Chains A and B, each alone.
Chain A
Amino acid sequence: MSSPRQHGNNPNFVFNTTPEVANKKKYCRFKKNGIKYIDYKDANFLMKFLNDQGKILPRRITGTSLKYQRKVAQAVKRARHLAILPFVADGLK
């Protein structure tokens, strides 16, 4: 992940383009903290994996491992169904 990449104008890459974050190694917060279950009823927690439009952030930004990214996605989708999170939003954060 340390090799320079073409960032273009994609706003999703904003984290990588700031120098202090670019050097920092990304890690999976679930593996690091031993979190095994992601609660779909916990809106505040799931908010960390959404952008301000309410879209799920890609793994390349959050650093989540594939196993837990699937669980995050599942939890977010359940939360949306139950109106705990919005499907579409404008300025969620």
Chain B
Amino acid sequence: MELKNYESVIIFTPVLSDDQLKDAVGKYRQLITEHKGEIVHEENWGLTKLAYPMQKKSTGFYQVFEYKATTDFIKVLELQFKRDERIMRFLTTAPDKHAVIYNERKRRGEFNQPKKEKEATA
């Protein structure tokens, strides 16, 4: 089965402790690799302020996963996201070829100035 690129952003509730958060993130990391997936990159934004309240909370833990997975796996993964009460919201996207290049460059830190970065590169 061919692997496709995916990117998931998950917002965990802010009530989790550090260990609980690590547990939750670890669970999904494991789930991806167990299903023949391949994690390309992950990012934790820590406790971030939300633009609007969600489930009466104004902050959340953001976690970004960039990974390769089979198309069938996404259904499984999203079902797990929905069932997980620690997750307030999630979004899975399939980045196009430009997005993949952009993400790679971002990881290598080619964008130095946060404001100019998009203007000059991407």
Contacts and interface: CB of A to CB of B under 8 A. Distances in A.
B99 interface: yes
A42 to B, nearest CB: 7
Interface string A51-84: 0000000000000000000000000001011111
B51 A85 contact: yes
Contacts of A33: 118-120, 122
Given A82-B9, A86-B51, A87-B52, A42 B93 contact: no
B60 A37 contact: no
Q: State the main secondary structure of chain A at its contact with B.
A: loop
Interface in B61-93: 62, 64, 89, 91, 93
- Give the contact-size bracket for chain B: 20 to 34
Q: Looking at A36, A42, A81, A82, which has the most chain B CB atoms within 10 Å of its CB?
A: A82
Interface in A11-47: 29, 33-45
Nearest to B89: A82
